[in-house]
Amino acid sequence: MAQLALVIDLNKCVGCHACATNCKAWNTAGVFGPLTDIEPYSKKPYGVWFNRVQTYEVGTFPNTEIIYLPKSCMHCKDAPCVKVCPTQASYKRKEDGIVLVDYKRCIGCKYCSWACPYGCREFDIREGIMKKCTLCLDRIYNENLPEDERKPACVLACPTRARIFGDIDDPQSLASQVISEFMGYKLMPEANTSPSNHYLPRRQSKIKIDEDVVNVRDYAIVTTEKKVTSYKVLIAEDIAIA
Residue among 58, 49, 55, 50 at smallest CA distance from 68: 55
Dmax of the chain from CA atoms?
60
Tell me which stretch binds ligand SF4 (CB under 6 A): 28-36, 136-144, 154-162, 170-178: 154-162
**Burial profile 206-221: b = 16 or more Cβ within 10 angstroms, e = fewer:** eeeeeeeeeeeeeeee
Beta strands 198-200 and 4-9 are parallel
Determine the interface stretch with ligand SF4 among 106-114, 178-186, 204-212, 226-234 (rule: CB under 6 A). 106-114
The answer to whether the Cα torsion of 175, 162, 194, 83 is positive or negative is negative
Dihedral of the CA atoms 89, 94, 100, 102 (nearest 10)?
-40
If binding is defined by CB under 6 A, does position 100 make contact with ligand SF4? Answer: no
Site string for ligand SF4, 21-60 (x = CB under 6 A): --------------------------------x-------
- Does position 130 bind ligand SF4 by CB under 6 A? yes
Question: Is the Cβ–Cβ distance between 133 and 72 less than 8 Å?
Answer: yes
* Contact call for residue 134 and ligand SF4 (CB under 6 A): no
Binding of ligand SF4 by 15 (CB under 6 A): yes
Number of residues interacting with ligand SF4: please give it, by CB under 6 A: 44
Cis peptide before 195 (omega within 30 of 0): no
* 163 is an interface residue for ligand SF4 by CB under 6 A: yes
Q: Which 8-state DSSP code applies to residue 209?
A: -
Which of 34, 47, 67, 118 binds ligand SF4 (CB under 6 A)? It is 118
Q: Is 192 a binder of ligand SF4 (CB under 6 A)?
A: no
109 or 213: whose CB is closer to ligand SF4? Answer: 109
What are the residues binding ligand SF4 (CB under 6 A)? 8, 13-19, 53, 68, 70, 73-76, 79-81, 84-85, 87, 89-90, 99, 101, 106-112, 116, 118, 120-121, 130, 132, 157-158, 160, 162-163, 193
